[in-house]
């Protein structure tokens, strides 16, 4: 489990495609404390560390993950939001995040809003019922508070700190992102409105 609070901004160092695709990602993490087989959320996707070398680690990505996330378009130099798993006793600063992407979305609009920036993201069919104004959503691994939600879109505001320390500051209209709905909302919907589960 993760919290959606980004603790490092890495970069794709290399991409190697074979039976599966391997991404090497640079990081400021002390990799001596990261075990082979450990999980790291990379742009919101929970991935397994299979190799370590100097200041980078390698993850092995299946075709299924490439097809249902933004990872299929990752290229060398791309900034990657990183988060290590939540440990017992850690501060839960964001919300509970599983690292299992629900859909790929894209930026519809970006515009200044006071000291922050207001983003509107496209919302794939069937997900609006899981999202609530002032509720939480994860965008490329970042825990964000929803401003508004309609059937085809949702909006968020990003403060200067978030724009600076995550990859979201680089987003422009048309940029693709991984989104994960709040896992608590998913289970509540299953109990209260099971018809939503059939459409998601």
pLDDT at 157: 97
pLDDT at 189: 66
The DSSP letter of residue 62 is -
Q: Which two tokens stand for residue 80?
A: 């990657």
Distance CA 176, CA 69 (A): 9
CA dihedral 55, 98, 1, 15 (to 10 degrees): -10
Distance CA 50, CA 59 (A): 6
Q: What pLDDT tens digit does each residue of the chain (200 aa) get?
A: 899 999 999 999 999 988 789 999 999 999 999 999 999 999 999 999 999 999 999 999 999 999 999 999 999 999 999 999 987 667 777 788 999 999 999 999 999 999 999 999 999 888 888 898 999 999 999 999 999 999 899 999 999 999 999 999 999 999 999 999 987 777 676 666 555 555 55
Location of each CATH 2.40.30.20 domain in the chain? 8-83, 103-199
Pick the CATH number of 103-199 from 3.90.1520.10, 3.60.150.10, 2.40.30.20, 3.40.50.720: 2.40.30.20
> What is the architecture of the domain spanning 8-83?
Beta Barrel (2.40)
Distance CA 2, CA 5 (A): 8
Task: Give Cβ neighbours of residue 7 (< 8 Å, ≥ 6 apart).
Answer: 29, 82, 83, 84
Q: pTM (2 decimals)?
A: 0.91
């Amino acid at each position: 489990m993760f919290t959606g609070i980004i603790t490092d901004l890495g970069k794709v160092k290399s991409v190697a495609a074979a039976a599966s695709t391997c991404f090497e990602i640079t990081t400021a993490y002390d990799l001596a404390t990261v075990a082979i087989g450990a999980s790291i959320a990379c742009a919101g996707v929970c991935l397994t560390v299979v190799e370590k070398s100097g200041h980078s680690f390698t993850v092995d990505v299946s075709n299924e993950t490439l097809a249902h996330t933004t990872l299929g378009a990752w290229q060398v130099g791309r900034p990657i939001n990183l988060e290590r798993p939540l440990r017992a006793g850690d501060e839960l600063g964001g919300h509970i995040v599983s690292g299992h992407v629900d859909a790929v979305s894209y930026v519809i609009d970006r515009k200044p809003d006071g000291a922050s920036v207001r983003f509107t993201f496209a919302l794939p069919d069937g997900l609006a019922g899981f999202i609530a104004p002032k509720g939480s959503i994860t965008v490329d691994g970042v825990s964000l508070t929803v401003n508004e939600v309609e059937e085809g879109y949702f909006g968020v505001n990003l403060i200067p700190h978030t724009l600076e320390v995550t990859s979201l500051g680089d987003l422009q209209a048309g940029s693709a992102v991984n989104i994960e709905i709040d896992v608590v909302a998913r289970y509540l919907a299953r109990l209260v409105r099971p018809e939503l589960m059939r459409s998601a």
